[in-house]
Amino acid sequence: MTSEPFGLPTDESSEGGSATRPPASDSVGGEPANAGDAGAVVDGAAKAGVDEGVDPDIARLDTDDDTADARLEEAGGQAEPGVAELASKADEYLALAQRTRADFENFRKRASRDAALAQERGLSKLAKELLPAIDNLGRALQAAAIEAAAVGEGEAAVVSGHLVEGVKLVQADLLAAFARVGIEPYSPEGEVFDPQLHEAVAQAPVEGAVSGTVVEVYQQGYRLGETVLRPARVLVAA
């Protein structure tokens, strides 16, 4: 092999002549196959989208990636302003939802408390209306006991006994209804006088009784939980 002018290699034939070898044609369209020329071909295919058999979609994806990288580089690696604004809005809505939930929970507790207070007030009002009737039943039983002791045995005593039993049943039913809703009577005989629970009708010296204690209960007291519906009327030892 010899070198002709212009640097084109030649082959010597068996006949002693020489033939000029055509340039290498590994590149598309017969262009020189070197790195610089190949890059130019790919860039041109990306711009045109159809040249030299390059898929237009692939070329467009490469272009989009380059554009996204350029934008990220311009933003200093930070998220776009739109993303930051959306994140701020999300935090704002989350805080609003949390405040709304807390307000609703407070409202629910307040409504439950108000309902309980309203129910207690209703029970207290009804109980105060029924207490005189219960007192009268108690007085009727005391009077019946005195009358039965005076009459003695006989037909009248039998009739009186049946009436007494009926009155006792009515009284017991009313007290049971009170107990079911939390109303209970109390009789503080022997306890230390408490002005919040007791009403002193009189005060007198009583032999053997400690001063300031309840020695006699004239009328039972009633309470609903910690609320006094009616204080007990008592005699206090001086």
Closest CA to 182 of 129, 223, 128: 223
The answer to whether position 230 is within a domain reads: yes
Under 8 Å between Cβ of 42 and 34: no
Domain assignment of residue 199, yes or no: yes
Instruction: Report the distance separating Cα 225 and Cα 123, nearest Å.
Output: 11
CATH assignment at residue 234 = 2.30.22.10
Q: Which pTM value belongs to this model?
A: 0.54
> What local confidence, expressed as pLDDT, does residue 56 receive?
53
Q: How far apart are CA 200 and CA 223, in angstroms?
A: 17
Residue 228 lies in a domain: yes
Q: Report yes or no on 195 lying in a domain.
A: yes
The pLDDT assigned to 154 comes to 60
Distance CA 7, CA 77 (A): 51
Q: Write down the pLDDT at residue 26.
A: 44
In whole angstroms, give the CA distance from residue 142 to residue 144. Answer: 5
CB distance 161 to 148 below 8 Å: yes
**Structural domain that includes position 212:** 184-238
Q: Is residue 96 part of a domain?
A: no
pLDDT computed for residue 75 by the predictor: 53
Residue 81: the pLDDT is 62
Run means of pLDDT, 10 residues per run, the chain, 238 residues: 45 44 44 46 46 49 53 53 84 93 94 91 91 92 80 62 86 93 92 94 90 93 92 94
Task: Let me know if residue 235 belongs to a domain.
Answer: yes
Q: Is residue 233 part of a domain?
A: yes
Beta strands 18-20 and 183-186, pairing class? unpaired
Residue 232 forms part of a structural domain: yes
Q: Report the alpha-carbon distance of residue 47 to residue 63 in Å, rounded.
A: 9
Domain count, the chain: 1
Q: What is the pLDDT of residue 69?
A: 55
